[in-house]
A = this chain, B = another copy of it.
Amino acid sequence: MRQTARDVPRHRAALARLRGCGLRPTRQRLELAGFLFRDCDRHVTAESLHDEVSKAGIKVSLATIYNTLHQFTEAGLLRQVVVDAGRSYFDTNVGDHQHFFLEEEGHLIDIPGDMIAVSNVPVPPEGLAVERVDVVVRVKRA
Task: Report A's interface with B, CB cutoff 8 A.
Answer: 80, 82-89, 100, 102-103, 109, 111, 115-122, 124-125, 127-142
Q: A82-B82, A119-B116 in contact; A135/B132 too (CB < 8 A)?
A: no
B125 x A109 contact (CB < 8 A)? yes
Main secondary structure, interface of A, reads strand
Contacts of A134 in B (CB 8 A): 135-138
Q: A131-B140, A133-B137 in contact; A118/B117 too (CB < 8 A)?
A: yes
A139 x B124 contact (CB < 8 A)? yes
A111's partner among B84, B122, B137 (CB-CB below 8 A) is B122
Given contacts A109-B124, A118-B135, 18 further A-B contacts (CB under 8 A): A80-B85, A82-B83, A82-B136, A84-B85, A85-B87, A85-B89, A100-B124, A100-B128, A102-B128, A116-B118, A116-B121, A117-B118, A117-B120, A119-B119, A127-B142, A132-B137, A133-B138, A134-B137
